[in-house]
Every structure is written in C-alpha cells, then in structure tokens.
Amino acid sequence: MLNDPLANAMSLILNNELIGKSECLIKPVSKVIKELLKVMKENGYVGDFKEVIDSRGNYIQLSLTGSINKCGVIKPKYSVQSDDFEKFEKRYLPAKDLGILVVSTPKGIITHYDAKSKKTGGRLLAYCY
C-alpha cells in the first residue's frame, strides 16, 4: 500500500539514478508529481517525461540524466516564509547555491530561488542536488 506517492516517486528516481538506469516508470500519477518533475526538468536534474495512459492506470515514463546526487521529500511539509529559506537550505542542501528546494506556493510549485525573487512563502515539498 502506498501511503505517500510523492515520497515513493522521489525514492524511485533516486534508486534508479544510483544504479545507473537511463529511464524509470513512476506509478501512480498525480498533479503534484507532474509539477515537481517539471521543476526538476527546468533545473536540469531529469530529462524529458511523458504520461502514458494505460488500462490499469496511468504512469509516467521519465528519462534520467545522471545528474542527481540526492533527492527526497521533506516531511513534515514545513510552512516557510520568504525570509526563512536560508534555515532550510542549511538543513537540506549540502552547500550554498547547490541544489534546489521545491516549494508549493500560491503561485504554483516552484524552486526556493523563484519564491525568494517573487517574495512569497509556502510549504516545502522536496529537495534535490
């Protein structure tokens, strides 16, 4: 039984990256997972992806680029203001300006750099470097 589909998708991506696969299949599909993959693709961590419609439920076919060292979800999903990102950068990222925190904001799912520039807060979803 899947309790957290986002956490399962992130661990599947990380495991397939670590063993050197060039592709992985993510199932089940949700809007949050698709938006998170779109943000990771924009930042160069994953390649192209497409949703495949199947009779047993949809899945995402994701191509991997081999550029992820570590990724995962942030539990609990902390609320963060636009001024407080530095504390969570120190906690989840290895160095300053290395990696991204993915934040769910009223303006959509974006990186913490975009959230800082738009001066908006939200809830932390995931990290990737």
Q: Which CATH class is domain 5-64?
A: alpha beta
The answer to whether the beta carbons of residues 128 and 45 sit under 8 Å apart is: yes
- For the cut 90, the answer to whether the pLDDT of residue 13 exceeds it is yes
Q: Which CATH class is domain 71-128?
A: alpha beta
pLDDT at site 1: 56
- For the cut 60, the answer to whether the pLDDT of residue 32 exceeds it is yes
Domain boundaries, the chain: 5-64, 71-128
Question: Does pTM top 0.85 for this prediction?
Answer: yes
- For the cut 60, the answer to whether the pLDDT of residue 89 exceeds it is yes
pLDDT at site 2: 74
The answer to whether the beta carbons of residues 101 and 113 sit under 8 Å apart is: no
Section 56-83 average pLDDT: 95
